[in-house]
Structure 1
Amino acid sequence: MTSTTEAPPATGASRRGAAVLDGPWARFAVRRASQLVVSMWVLVTAAFLMIHLIPGDPVRSALGPTAPASLVAARRESLGLDDPLLLQYVHFLRGLFTGDLGTSLTSRLPVSEVISQRLPATVQLALLAFVTALAIAVPLGVLMGVLTRGGRRRGGELAFSSTSVVLGAIPEFLLGVGLVYLFGVQWGVLPVAGRSGPESYVLPVLSLALGPAAALARIMRVEMVSVLQADYLRTARAKRLPRRRIYLRDALPNALTATITLGGLLLTALVAGTVLVENVFAWPGLGSTIASSILLKDYPVVQGIVLVYGAAVLLVNLTVDVVLALLDPRSAIRES
């Protein structure tokens, strides 16, 4: 006589856990994580090949044409540039996992130390510019959407659209030069170089934030006008609900989706825009460092900063995807 042992019935908690693991959120997380890993690998490989695809000897370029051949050979050997390419790639990957990004050809400091010294200034500048852009764009876009809904105030809409288009088209560095001339040269009310106090942040932050703020405000106005024409908001107005509730609780969350998407893209542009703005204002961040390293042909530093900028862009894009999925879970389900 044989006996069989039946599995115990699944509890409610275990069934919910299995549903989560097999559900659209799990597939969404796995897909996004896989995309991030592949993108990071492509970025790392491209950064590694950058030095090897540049014509000439990077060590000779960094040390100058008058450097003794023995010094160039010793420096190449110390950096491992005489090893086979595949072995260099393996060493490069191993160094990334241990935080070793190589050594600067000019200062002889570890690249990770150079980046750690300059990264906080760039992060502060980019985040302050992003927050400033949102603080300007969202209230302004909501206000203009409310004022110009249903074809009202066409003159105000035209003036707003024209101004925002012009501001959005001006490059950050050119806007920075204009702000330096006005506030630094003509009026002398704000510092135009360095990072010496709260007032030194004003011009660099405005240079980075005004263009994105104009573009975001324009998108926010369009989305707000579209949402305000929805049937459920017409019903809310017909019931004479408080305007604050209609605009802020009912309309604003639905109008923010496109703004957040564009805001994430603009944040990546802000990170890249710091390169030029930091050079305009002599800002001690990664942007000015990479510019000077290119001039000095210090390719390991350039390589490390490119990795940091690329990783920042990928992480921002991932964050935007997650935030949008949380705001609209149906998007995660549809893509799974």
Structure 2
Amino acid sequence: MKNIQLFYGVLCIALICSSSCEKEVDLSDRLDIYGEKIVVFGFISPQEDTIKINVSKSFNRADQLGLEDTLLDDLLVKDAKVTIEGNGLRKELSYNPVRKKYMLPGTEFPIKEGQMYTLEVIVDGFQKVTAETTIPSMNTTILEPKFFSGGTNQTENVFFQIGDIPDQENYYIVFATDTYETSDGPSDGTERAISFGINSDMLDNFYSEISDEIYPSPKFLTDKRSPDGIIDFYGKALFTRDEGQKMRIKTYLYTVDKLYYDFHKLLSEYNPNHPFYEPSNFRSNVTNGIGVFSGYQLFEQSNVVVVQ
């Protein structure tokens, strides 16, 4: 599972907007407590071959409707006019009944770094919904991972380093996987998530959160405390220790904007089975509606390393 866009749209709104806690963000200027709103979620990137936008209608607890009483399919908006504009182009997205999203091939509308894009959604009976996002710069500085001593018979410690983009505030989401490597390539092709954290020496310099509740346990990092540094990671690859064994380590580095970062961090913390967990509201950048429209960049690096 390489896509961190874990889950949004109707279900996400029902889970996140139906309650509040100490993390709540005031959405009173966006959402009338009794009013139905258009819900829009879209995360665009130069690395995606398809632009995908979720469009639905909200419902709230004032209606005294729960998920069990509401057909999610009935909340989907299937006849909206959805357009995206940027780089001198304006294109309309088509509704895909199988994916339940509005979609447009990236070849028809390339997404480019540093460009601003405007999304427009028109639904009969509602105000026109708009949102804007600018695609962040891509970070491609992942230094080659290395194994180091201290593992067990079932695990091996792995060391990572990521260079920060200088002179600006950055938001990253990172995860990594390992695969056995043979002379003929991967032994089984199965990628296993590496459980990893941030080096304790960097805790004073970088804010980090990790969730072990979801695969692949992404790490959320922002350099707002100490820009222009090197971020150190350590992880544990789950395999039988065997000196000389080759492993392919894949590192996935998302460079994202603050909206993407905050929203997906909130999703990663979602744990309905925890007795003290309460869903949280989130910051919306959708005018005349609610939701998130934001951009990201994904850089992938693959290295073959040898167990020492």
Normalised by the length of structure 1, the TM-score is 0.29
Structure richer in helix, relative to its length: 1
With the length of structure 2 as denominator, give the TM-score of the two structures. Answer: 0.31
Rg larger in structure: 1
The structure with the largest strand share of the pair is 2
